[in-house]
Chains A and B, each alone.
Chain A
Amino acid sequence: MTNVQKNRLKDQLFKFWGIACTLIGLVLLVIFIGGILIDGLSRIDWAFITDLPSRKAEKSGIWTPLMGSVWILVLTAIISFPISVAAGVYLEEYAKKNRLSALLEINISNLAGVPSIIYGLLGLEVFVRIMNLGASVLAGALTLSLLILPIIIVATREAIKAVPGSIRDASYALGASKWQTIWNQVLPASSGGILTGVILALSRAVGEAAPLIIVGALAYVPFAPQGPLDQFSVLPIQIFNWISRPQQGFIDNAAAAIIILLLITFIMNGIAVYFRNKWQKKLQ
């Protein structure tokens, strides 16, 4: 075999190895989703979505945890978006590059890696006990906001960094102040990237169970929350609760709830991808 042939063979081998590796993830996902669809799909109907929880599996619905998740999602978005975007803009545009900002930067990156249950403990102490919010939707949303702040801050900074310096130069050269430049040029040009980060972070928040369990979200809540200080449950906690029951009926309920939760996160990720593609095209 000549050298060229050997190299071609290696090429081919590596290609198949790569395909195999890619397939592992895909196959696992298909098996997982397939199993859930088989268990859960027949259980999903309009009543399943709008029914309140019940002791009987076939009468149980996901209305309260679904509404709990929606409340959490909206409140978390309202709280985390302005804070983290402002922090990202500050770090990228205003902060001087010195020791302090380097320290801040490392801290934020590290915060993004802190296990979510730790945030739950922090939320329990600060929001539930010290601020006396109780096991409320607001306490849960504040806790999850802490969890996703670093993610959105990092995404905001990346998006701002991607705005070409020439746009800033042009704005300054026309007599714009720093704030005018940020508000009129930098933020609109980076909005797609920021939005993508926000949506991805929220779709992570909507799947979190651990920190909310610690904060005190309950598995059984008779009614959907009416205000930010009401008790609540969320889909992942409901799923966890159902799956730990021995009856097959609840297992099917769990599978059905997983389908709904997956649907929500897939849609959110899809929107994020859409914004990202649109944004990248615009910047080029």
Chain B
Amino acid sequence: MESRFISEINGKKNYSNTMSDMMSEKTEDAKTEAPIAEKYKLQTKDVNVFYGDFQAIKDISMNIKPKSITAFIGPSGCGKSTFLRLFNRMNDYIEDFKMEGKIKIDDKNIYKDKIQLEQLRKEVGMVFQKPNPFPKSIFENVAYGLKIQGIKDKKLIADRVEKALVQADLWNEVKDNLSKSALTLSGGQQQRLCIARTLAVEPSIILMDEPTSALDPISTAKIEELIHHLKQYYTIIIVTHNMQQAARISDYTAFFYMGELIEFDKTKKIFTNPEKKRTENYITGRFG
């Protein structure tokens, strides 16, 4: 299996048949959504993930619409974070990691060509559980993603930094202290800085791995508001342990359990009238 994975990475580009692949996938998933290729930003097909002998993800196929908020919920260790980290290939650094199946973003298989890793991560930003600003100034933090792309134009960088900080609703709090160390900010500000840092690169998808679990309720509310606002520009996927949060901010909710996708539907449906008994038990707090 591993050899197949590697050969897929190094293999020739055969995008010619991806379109037909997609169409066939569509008909299989026709129950959930209409089979129009442009409709989906992100598609996964029969994805399995192994860490050595342990199977962390079991056969998950899922389609995510552009400019929507999708929440991943489920008990700890259910694989939702692992699944999220597949979309920007952050699992690649884990030893013994092995992945099967297809993940397509804008119709391109992101596990096909290794050299596109940096490009992929420009396209798919990520915000982590604990705020993790670099031990540098606020400005440097936001500018970092641009600088590593080789952008030298100071005016352009300054503009993008300001725009990102405004978008992340942090500009008014830090505009006079851009050269101050990012570590002097409060936890909630740090997390918004991390969001700004991601926005500055201008991705189209933002992955959020429990972005508010380390924050107080007021900071959490601010970030939720921000996420809601960002929806008009970005496709957002958020992992959360907080059921109310999923219900409050997401359009779609996916419930994971033991590495399987149990149910994936409109959030309203999941929280009011879930198809599966297990989903209902989880969201009503009977286990998990």
Contacts and interface: CB of A to CB of B under 8 A. Distances in A.
A282 B135 contact: yes
Contact of B134 (A97, A177, A185): A185
A174 B201 contact: yes
A175 B148 contact: yes
Contacts of A282: 135
B238 interface: no
- Interface residue SS majority, chain A: helix
B267 interface: no
B125 A174 contact: yes
Contact of A174 (B95, B135, B144): B144
B70 to A, nearest CB: 18
B132 A175 contact: no
Among B95, B118, B135, B194, chain A packs the most CB atoms within 10 A around the CB of B135
Nearest to A283: B135
Interface in B234-274: none
Contacts of B130: 166
B90 A173 contact: yes
A97 B94 CA distance: 12
B28 to A, nearest CB: 32
B139 to A, nearest CB: 14
Contacts of B197: 170, 174
B212 interface: no
Among B125, B134, B136, chain A packs the most CB atoms within 10 A around the CB of B134
Interface in B123-148: 125-126, 128, 130, 132-136, 144-145, 147-148
A187 to B, nearest CB: 12
A174 B145 contact: yes
B148 A97 contact: no
A47 interface: no
Contacts, number: 65
Given A97-B95, A174-B148, A167 B134 contact: yes
B121 interface: yes
Contacts of B118: 175-177
Contacts of A184: 144, 147-148
Among A164, A166, A167, A282, chain B packs the most CB atoms within 10 A around the CB of A166
A77 B136 CA distance: 28
B48 interface: no
B183 to A, nearest CB: 8
Contact of A172 (B121, B147, B149): B121
Interface in A161-211: 164, 166-167, 169-177, 180, 184-185, 188-189
Contacts of B201: 174-175
A173 B121 contact: yes
B90 A169 contact: yes
Contacts of A166: 128, 130, 132
Contacts of B81: none
Contacts of A170: 128, 132-134, 194, 197
A188 B136 CA distance: 10
Nearest to A180: B148
A175 B145 CA distance: 7
Given A97-B95, A184-B148, A173 B135 contact: no
Contacts of A177: 118, 148
Contacts of B128: 166, 169-170, 173
Contact of B126 (A167, A173, A189, A283): A173
A188 B149 CA distance: 19
B80 interface: no
The 5 closest A-B pairs by CB, nearest first: A166-B132, A174-B145, A175-B121, A173-B126, A175-B122
18 contacts: A97-B95, A164-B132, A166-B130, A170-B133, A170-B134, A170-B197, A173-B128, A173-B198, A174-B122, A174-B125, A174-B197, A175-B118, A175-B145, A175-B148, A176-B118, A176-B144, A176-B148, A184-B147
Interface of A: 97, 164, 166-167, 169-177, 180, 184-185, 188-189, 282-283
Interface of B: 88, 90, 93, 95, 118-122, 125-126, 128, 130, 132-136, 144-145, 147-149, 194, 197-198, 201
Given A172-B90, A174-B122, A174-B201, 11 more contacts: A167-B132, A167-B134, A170-B133, A172-B93, A173-B88, A173-B198, A175-B121, A175-B145, A176-B145, A184-B144, A185-B134
